Amino acid sequence: MSAPATSREEAIQAALATVDDPEIRRPITDLGMVKSFTIDEDGLVRVELLLTVSGCPLRDKLNNDITSAVSAVPGVSGVLVDFGVMSKEQRQDLQTRLRGGGGAEPVIPFAEPGSRTRVYAIASGKGGVGKSSVTVNLAAALAARGLSVGVVDADIYGHSVPRMLGAAGKPTRVEDMIMPPESHGVKVISIGMFTAQNAAVVWRGPMLHRALQQFLADVYWGDLDVLLLDLPPGTGDVAISLAQLLPNAEILVVTTPQTAAAEVAERAGAISLQTHQRLVGVVENMSWLELPTGERMEIFGSGGGQVVAEKLSRTLGAEVPLLGQIPLDTRVREAGDAGLPIVLAEPTAPAAQAITAVADRLAVRRESLVGKPLGLKPAGR
């Protein structure tokens, strides 16, 4: 005996509710994407789905996911998905819904008092110390632990994160909101996704500030556990803008063991004195090269990371730990060029294990105090 029509329709509705939009990671039924569905006497279900934009690159995935979910309902003999496109009004309604129903003006969610997202700004005093490699590998390691992770490639002039993270997709726009591509479970945005091929970016301070602001406010990040920002080297415009836009961001300094690199890294860390941001620690990259004999060759010297941590501790008057030492390994470079971070490509490699150990120390979600009792009682009379 076939199931009653009403209960079958309810089962189909429930099945559709299990299908998430691949970009927004919310059920398509909650997003207003299911315009309607019908089921004929032979059990063929026809679903009319509204895409946010025409030519959606994830159309095939949506078709497969809907077909798989609805086909599992008893009495369904087949599934056909008809695709349409949201109207401007429907996209505006979706945008308002995703932004929590507030005003039309975008805000930076990570700067809101109730934000539970840990924000780490990965900084260095100079270029060439492997800051971007550390960023993408930390992001991949954190995502592999099941955390929701985003990366902002804030190195506007020297953007390299998309290639190193294997993020070949392009952002999708829903009105004035941007859906970031995802790779290896990490959402990522970079100016390189908006420029033609390998074009140079020639901007001054105000434009850099606006770009960073848009990356933080106009991009729909969802509910992130961790947001990493790959900063440009030094203490210039972007570092200053970051302090203004995300005063709660924590700074992680990357250096090499080399004395010259350590000195400039110390300057990059000391900026937290002026911006009043927390310095979470120091990572020493390219610490040594392990030879086939098992010996360590210290190509860039030794001790730079520890020196930076100790000097910053004295300067700031608070402990700044050396979070880890990452050995030099050609596989880090090869994995980055291939778009597959070494923590995923070669998780047992010493460099991957060192990065994963740092990620373990950073993988703590900030607890919101909104709505929580603090156990405070008025003093007795």
- Please give the Cα distance from 343 to 363 (Å, whole number): 15
371 annotated ligand-binding residue: no
The span from the CA of 102 to the CA of 76, in Å, is: 40
* Cβ contact 242:270 at 8 Å: no
Whether residue 132 is annotated as binding a ligand: the answer is yes
Query: In what helix (H) or strand (E) does residue 82 lie, and over which residues does it extend?
Result: strand 78-85
125 is in an annotated binding site: yes
The whole-angstrom separation of Cα 47 and Cα 29 is 12
Binding residue per annotation — 324? no
The position carrying tokens 């895409």 is 51
Establish whether 35 is an annotated binding residue. Answer: no
Q: Measure the CA–CA gap between 271 and 232, rounded to whole angstroms.
A: 14
- The response to whether 119 counts as a known ligand-binding position is no
Do 119 and 249 touch, CB atoms closer than 8 A? yes
Was 372 annotated as part of a binding site?
no
Nearest to 136 by CA among 122, 126, 119: 122
Task: Specify the residue for token string 């990366």.
Answer: 151
For tokens 């947001």, name the residue. Answer: 227
Q: Mark out the alpha helices in 205-329 (DSSP H runs).
A: 205-217, 237-245, 259-275, 304-316
Q: Is 78 annotated as a binding residue?
A: no
Give the separation between CA 230 and CA 210, rounded to whole angstroms: 16
The widest CA-to-CA distance across the chain, in whole angstroms, is 80
Q: What are the angstrom distances between the C-alpha of 376 and each of 92, 215, 373, 381?
A: 43, 39, 8, 15
Residues in binding site: 125-132
Residues in binding site for ATP: 125-132
